[in-house]
Structure 1
Amino acid sequence: MKQFLSRFGWRWLIGLSLTIVASLQVLGYLPETATDLIDQADQTIYDTRMRLGPPEFDSRIAIVSIDERSLAEVGRWPWSREVVARMVDRLFDKYKIKALGFDVTFSEPDNTSGYATLTSLAQNELRDVPQLDERLRSLKSALDYDARLARALRGRPVVLGYYLSPNLKKGMLPPPVFTKADLNDYEVDALLAAGYEGNLPELQKAAISGGYFNADFDADGLLRSTPLIMRVGDGYYESLALATARVALGATRVEPVMFQATSINSEEFVRGYGMLEAVKLNTEPHGTLIPVEQFLKARIQYRSPGGAQGGAYRYFSAADILKGKVKPEELEGRIVLVGTTAPGLNDMRATPVKADYPGVEVHANLISSILDNNFKQRPDFVIGFNFIQVLLIGLLLTLALSALSPLWSILVSAMTALAAIGFNSWMYQANNYVLPVATTLLLILGLFIFNVAWGYLFEYRKGRAIVNLFGEYVAPELVAEMAKDPQSYSMEGELRELTILFSDVRGFTTISEGLEPNALREYVNLYLTAMSEDIRGNRGTLDKYIGDAVMAFWGAPISLPNHASLAVKTALQMQDTARRLNEDFVARGWPPLKIGIGLNTGEVRVGDMGSAVRRAYTVMGDPVNLASRLEGITKTYGAGIVVGQATRDAAPEFLYRELDLVRVKGKNEPVPIFEPLGLAEAIDPAARADLERWHDALRMMRSQQWDAAQNAIEKLALAAPLDGLYPLYLERIAYYREHPPGEDWNAVTVFDTK
């Protein structure tokens, strides 16, 4: 216990300290500078996720753009109200749009017709001119452009935009959506404006509604969210996006929805919390609930990088609308927003997806979210969730990393970070929750760096001593195992059940005779490197190279309960690797590569063995010899891999083809041998059926039903002409017909050579 505490105590203490610091940051007890940096990191993650999202085109909304071409053809902005009135008439009469929102304000009277000047003259200098006053009254409907626009707006679903200002009071506000009295005097946190720049009263009264288009930027100057409702005096007013969506949906009211507390003092809780949970539109058949965050804000879900080319929305030039060049079906039944996109009109916003994003498209994105009832939001439980997340991950990693090797520390840290990111992304996509993750990721990174540094500074010398002492003759796998706990490791031999693998290149003598020395060296190096990587990649211990042969085993020095399964998996992988190497070798003009692999499982002696001159960590025993013999007879059966009965029994998740019952040199008892075909679940039904037919044929042959066995094998050979097993057994059947084996025949094939 003392040794344990001396090894882990300080690491746990420092890891716990890092976790506590991260937890204090989540709870807001660290300096604002640190909190601001963490918040900025979370915002960067949020922005990146939005930028990487695919564009989502919304055909329900169209934007009529007062662009540079419109200014060139119609004239400088602001245009005459008569021009705007004609555009409104055109949009509703010809294009049959559903609703219209103006991202502009009509706060000044339009005197471009000269009507006001003529009226002033008629009342002063020209008051004595007969019938002038009467004539002016008859021309009013044609020359009073504000009245002309009011007539175009009246009775149509049009929402006029306006601006809330700190002190200016100009024009007229629409009615508030609700008042302080409607909230039962609850104090609701909302952004407050003292003044406004509204539309002319006759225009605002003619329109069905109005909405402000104020933008509320974050500290870094980017527009990520905007208030859906702001307060002026005792009234609460809706934004342009909310008003336009409400009108398009046919709703007539915006109702506040307070947080529903379940405690005994729920009323005091709601009063103290000072926030609405949502606002509700009285749409049919069910109301539309729109969640809001603090200060009645909603996050803007940008659907595309934006721009006049229309990434998520179709843009139409206002000049084309006025001339009727747009096809009616392109706008019919759609919500239309009119806004300025010409650079000189200064309606561009800095957003997470683009530095110069059209302001009118910001409103379009919000309307899309309202129509879809799909808002990303920072939930009210975010602090509690983040605290638990940081505390849990910090404690688990503190315990785990102190006991893991550097490689496993990297893997566990990376997996933990990926899990945190994955869960965060799932909550974002599936539940629309925007949750913080930066503190967690920084804690994971901090704990990882600390533990790696600790291991390097305090344990490096111990491990290095083991490497220097044993690294030249002990397998690297054993060195890594010993370096973890050098005080308690022993290299003494022990009996243990292992799975042993032998692999050999077929026809290597011919290959070596046909290649130049340098080419042969590269040939062998590429082959041995690839095979070794497969073995090491599946936790095998590479024992030795014997010329072109490879010997490996599983289950020592690290105990592996599934050592047989890992060995079979490795053998199949080595055959796949050999096929890929063969394609490369043939392309180089080298001899083709084909290997045979033998596997056997059994109890062997494993440990430090050798002489006073050279020692190695290796295995010895009868199962080792059998594995070598099985590799040698692979070519007889045309099989790439041959395994013994014990291996087959220990790795039942694979599907095997029985090859024969053999007695190899040095063994008195016959052993069944098998060829693994792959994971049982991955073998298709047709291959399973062929395997059953083969096993039936093998049983018929062993019962000396030569005709039936031959007929079955010939059918199998016809379907798989390259399979070397079927010709072998057809030859045997032919032989046994001429030389009957007798009734006491045990169907054993004897191999007298290695």
Structure 2
Amino acid sequence: MRAFVSELLRRTRDLGHALLVWLAAALAAVWWWSPLGEAADRPFFDAFTVLSAPHHNDLPIVVLAIDEPSFQELQQPWPFPRQWHAALIDRLREDGARAVAFDVVFAEPGDPAQDQAMADAIARWRQPGGTPAVVLAATRERLDTGQTTLWTEVTPLQRLLDAGAVAGQAGVSTDADFVVRRAPADPDSLSARLAVAQGATASAADWIRYNGPRGGIDTRSYYQAVTPGLLPPGFFKNKLVLVGRSLRTATELTASQADMFNSPFAWLDGSDRLMPGVELHAHLLANRLLGNGLVSASPWWTLGAGGLFSLLLAAFALRMHPGLVAVGTASAAAAGVGLSYAAFAQGGHWASPAPLLAMLGAAYGVSAVWGFVATRRRARHIRQMFAQYVPPEVVSELVAHPELMRLGGETRELTVMFTDLASFTTLAERLDPQHTVAVLTEYFNTMTAIVHRHHGTVDKFIGDAVMAFWGAPLPVPDHARHAVDAAIEMQQAMAAMVTRLQAQGLPPIGMRIGIHSGPAVVGNIGSETRFSYTAIGDTVNLAARLEGANKAFGTGILLSASTAALLGQGAPLLRPLADVVVKGKTAAVRVYTPCNDADLVASSTRQLEAAGQPALALDKL
């Protein structure tokens, strides 16, 4: 029944762990699906953009930048005279350009003659089939009032449109961090209008695939195109040209700040923080011509992968080493990021790895906390189980390294000690039960402390006897020496205790100790419903017999030759007594007792070796 209850509790804990892991993963997925989760996608998009950008292209796209060199060379503040734009249109047409787009809004009338000059230049450029060759920027301006938000359409001069130009929306949308990542959905965008001149039919994607940082598209200064002789004839042949402001430090920058934008390269590769709007449109145009803009992948793939990995984590986390769980989780996260990048760079799909990482992180975090709590619970169990057997430092070592304790039993080299009290029955007859228990408690407390001080393990109390051993649950170097030293100190403590008892008018008692070293089976031994940490085997039996053999020699400590052989240099002097055959044994065992008289030790040794006497049979002990 107990085994059934134990298994039921284990399965319940496993189920609870799995449910918590799944709940954590689900909450992470919900968090990512919310607007807050969008911020987690952006670093991955920017990193993938930087890593996958080719930084070169052979597309027929040229950006004419209205930049600082142009202001310096042309010695003209903004806005430039529109007759210059008219001259530029004529130059591009004569040079064989396919089309030109101005990322400049010509909404306000200027000098009538110059407006007409620009209109005439537009009218002179007619593409075969009537395809517009000049695209002029239009925009929408937002006006926020206390009650509502108004949008105003700002279009180019009607005179320019009547001459054959078309309007293209130049607006782009930024994310909350003011970085432009999304492609405009407007089919009348500036890049879409210009792509028509090249015959591109690819629809706009959801996200911009940047060719590179600022300057990643072939860029020339405006003044080079309007000044004869600076660019070779035919330079613009079959090319699509975009004209717009691209300022860095000029005084005009403040006035044109609205046409500068953050790109994914702004903080990842140290490029210029701002990218001109005209270059953004060049990247959008490149996406349309190549058909390689990024399309949003279904998030269910990523969420499904996160759910699958969370399921595997819940299934195996409690049965695997924590290090393997951490490595497996990190490998799954790395694989998710790698697949996401492959889809981005090679497949043209943007599938953020953020939800997968969030779900894995949440699942692993819950599993790690669960494992930590379970480890603490096991640590408490180990402390409670072994605190009564071994010293506190040994318990701490077992808690820190539970693998050192193999449950179920194993063979170890031990030194085993048995003690028993002589004449305790006579003493107990003189005392009431409470005083008897008090004397035993003092005795057990004193002897347990000595055993622990000498790195031993108290196995059990049997009536007024103590069983202890050295060498388990942790290996103890010089276990025989520790046991003998403990026995000598125990007899000294016993003498002090007897003195106190006699001072109370009580009869004296004595203590006999038997010690033997050898192999024994040690571990949690017993039934499924009741077990204890103990040692069994011939070594244990012989140690118990030697305790009783003290009666035959009138000694307080008796140890076997096996123990004596392990003591080494600096050990207490040992007096050999005899070769004995204890009950249940056929082989003789030489026994010793500690002795401080070197002459007596030498004399006993000579007599025992010279006599050649047969082994003493102690069958009744």
TM-score by length of 1: 0.46
Matched with 1:163 is 138
Distance 1:221 1:616 in 2: 78
Q: Evaluate the alpha carbon distance shift between residue 2 and residue 408 of structure 1 in structure 2; reply closer, same or farther with a 3 A threshold.
A: farther
Distance 1:613 1:205 in 2: 110
Q: CA deviation at 1:388?
A: 2.0
Q: Does 1:337 align with 2:205?
A: no
Larger Rg: 2
The answer to whether the 8 Å contact 2:180/2:262 transfers is yes
- The letter of the residue matching 1:436 is S
Secondary structure of the residue aligned to 1:431 is: coil
Of all paired residues, the percent bearing the same amino acid is: 23
For residues 469-484 of structure 1, the aligned pairs below 5 Å read 482=403
Q: CA deviation at 1:82?
A: 1.4
Secondary structure of the residue aligned to 2:136 is: strand
Secondary structure of the residue aligned to 2:351 is: coil
The answer to whether the 8 Å contact 2:195/2:285 transfers is yes
Distance 1:418 1:489 in 2: 41
Distance 1:103 1:616 in 2: 94
Q: Does 1:86 align with 2:87?
A: yes
Distance 1:204 1:89 in 2: 17
Q: CA deviation at 1:40?
A: 0.8
Q: Does 1:362 align with 2:280?
A: yes
Q: Say which of 399, 410, 427 aligns to 1:491.
A: 410
Q: Does 1:318 align with 2:222?
A: yes
Distance 2:136 2:116 in 1: 22
Matched with 2:261 is 349
- The letter of the residue matching 2:155 is G
- The letter of the residue matching 1:326 is L
Q: Deviations over 1:151-182 (max 9, x none)?
A: 344448523233342689xxxxxxxxxxxxxx
Distance 2:219 2:518 in 1: 76
The answer to whether the 8 Å contact 1:88/1:152 transfers is no
Aligned residue pairs: how many?
A: 389
- The letter of the residue matching 1:22 is A
Matched with 1:455 is 371
- The letter of the residue matching 1:223 is V
Q: Does 1:218 align with 2:160?
A: no
- The letter of the residue matching 2:177 is D
Secondary structure of the residue aligned to 2:64 is: strand
Distance 1:323 1:216 in 2: 35
Q: Evaluate the alpha carbon distance shift between residue 320 and residue 449 of structure 1 in structure 2; reply closer, same or farther with a 3 A threshold.
A: same
Q: Does 1:200 align with 2:157?
A: yes
The answer to whether the 8 Å contact 1:162/1:197 transfers is no
- The letter of the residue matching 1:160 is V
- The letter of the residue matching 2:316 is A
Secondary structure of the residue aligned to 2:296 is: coil
For residues 376-387 of structure 1, the aligned pairs below 5 Å read 376-379=294-297, 381-382=298-299, 384-387=300-303
TM-score by length of 2: 0.55
Q: Evaluate the alpha carbon distance shift between residue 445 and residue 8 of structure 1 in structure 2; reply closer, same or farther with a 3 A threshold.
A: farther
Q: Deviations over 1:652-675 (max 9, x none)?
A: xxxxxxxxxxxxxxxxxxxxxxxx
Q: Evaluate the alpha carbon distance shift between residue 105 and residue 407 of structure 1 in structure 2; reply closer, same or farther with a 3 A threshold.
A: same
Matched with 1:62 is 62
Matched with 1:373 is 291
Matched with 2:305 is 389
Q: Deviations over 1:585-623 (max 9, x none)?
A: xxxxxxxxxxxxxxxxxxxxxxx9999659999xxxxxx
Matched with 2:73 is 73
Distance 1:305 1:167 in 2: 29
Q: Evaluate the alpha carbon distance shift between residue 201 and residue 489 of structure 1 in structure 2; reply closer, same or farther with a 3 A threshold.
A: farther
Distance 1:319 1:65 in 2: 9
The answer to whether the 8 Å contact 2:190/2:281 transfers is yes
Q: Deviations over 1:444-492 (max 9, x none)?
A: 223323333333343257469599989x99xx9xx97836xx6745434
Secondary structure of the residue aligned to 2:349 is: coil
Distance 2:288 2:20 in 1: 45
- The letter of the residue matching 1:389 is A
Distance 1:86 1:616 in 2: 108
- The letter of the residue matching 2:48 is R
Distance 1:112 1:613 in 2: 114
Q: Evaluate the alpha carbon distance shift between residue 167 and residue 447 of structure 1 in structure 2; reply closer, same or farther with a 3 A threshold.
A: closer
Secondary structure of the residue aligned to 1:402 is: helix
Distance 2:122 2:241 in 1: 18
- The letter of the residue matching 1:52 is L
Q: Deviations over 1:177-201 (max 9, x none)?
A: xxxxxxxxxxxxxxx9964211222
Q: Does 1:400 align with 2:308?
A: no
Distance 1:320 1:10 in 2: 76
The answer to whether the 8 Å contact 2:98/2:197 transfers is no
Q: CA deviation at 1:441?
A: 1.2
Distance 2:409 2:235 in 1: 81
For residues 456-605 of structure 1, the aligned pairs below 5 Å read 456-460=372-376, 462=378, 482=403, 488=407, 490-492=409-411
Q: Deviations over 1:189-238 (max 9, x none)?
A: xxx99642112223223335331101112233221113232xxxxxxx51
Q: Does 1:23 align with 2:7?
A: no
The answer to whether the 8 Å contact 2:313/2:363 transfers is yes
Secondary structure of the residue aligned to 1:148 is: helix
Secondary structure of the residue aligned to 1:52 is: helix
Q: Does 1:427 align with 2:343?
A: yes
Q: CA deviation at 1:387?
A: 3.6
Distance 2:288 2:188 in 1: 13
Q: Evaluate the alpha carbon distance shift between residue 446 and residue 14 of structure 1 in structure 2; reply closer, same or farther with a 3 A threshold.
A: same
- Which residues of structure 2 form unaligned runs of 5+? 144-148, 248-252, 267-272, 413-474, 482-516, 520-621
Distance 2:41 2:161 in 1: 41
- Which residues of structure 1 form unaligned runs of 5+? 116-142, 169-191, 230-236, 252-280, 282-287, 293-297, 494-607, 618-754
The answer to whether the 8 Å contact 1:302/1:353 transfers is no
Secondary structure of the residue aligned to 1:357 is: strand
- The letter of the residue matching 1:68 is E
Q: Does 1:151 align with 2:123?
A: yes
Q: CA deviation at 1:47?
A: 1.8
Q: Evaluate the alpha carbon distance shift between residue 195 and residue 455 of structure 1 in structure 2; reply closer, same or farther with a 3 A threshold.
A: closer
Q: CA deviation at 1:350?
A: 2.0
The answer to whether the 8 Å contact 1:159/1:240 transfers is no
Distance 2:288 2:356 in 1: 32
Q: Evaluate the alpha carbon distance shift between residue 446 and residue 492 of structure 1 in structure 2; reply closer, same or farther with a 3 A threshold.
A: farther
Q: CA deviation at 1:322?
A: 1.0
Q: Say which of 185, 189, 195 aligns to 1:245.
A: 195
Distance 1:340 1:37 in 2: 35
Distance 2:233 2:407 in 1: 85
Secondary structure of the residue aligned to 2:57 is: coil
Q: Evaluate the alpha carbon distance shift between residue 241 and residue 436 of structure 1 in structure 2; reply closer, same or farther with a 3 A threshold.
A: same
Higher-RCO chain (CA-CA 8 Å, sequence separation at least 6): 2
Q: Say which of 293, 302, 320 aligns to 2:210.
A: 302
Q: CA deviation at 1:38?
A: 1.9
The answer to whether the 8 Å contact 1:162/1:196 transfers is no
Matched with 2:52 is 53
Q: CA deviation at 1:414?
A: 1.0
Secondary structure of the residue aligned to 1:211 is: strand
Matched with 2:420 is none
Q: Does 1:438 align with 2:437?
A: no
Secondary structure of the residue aligned to 1:65 is: strand
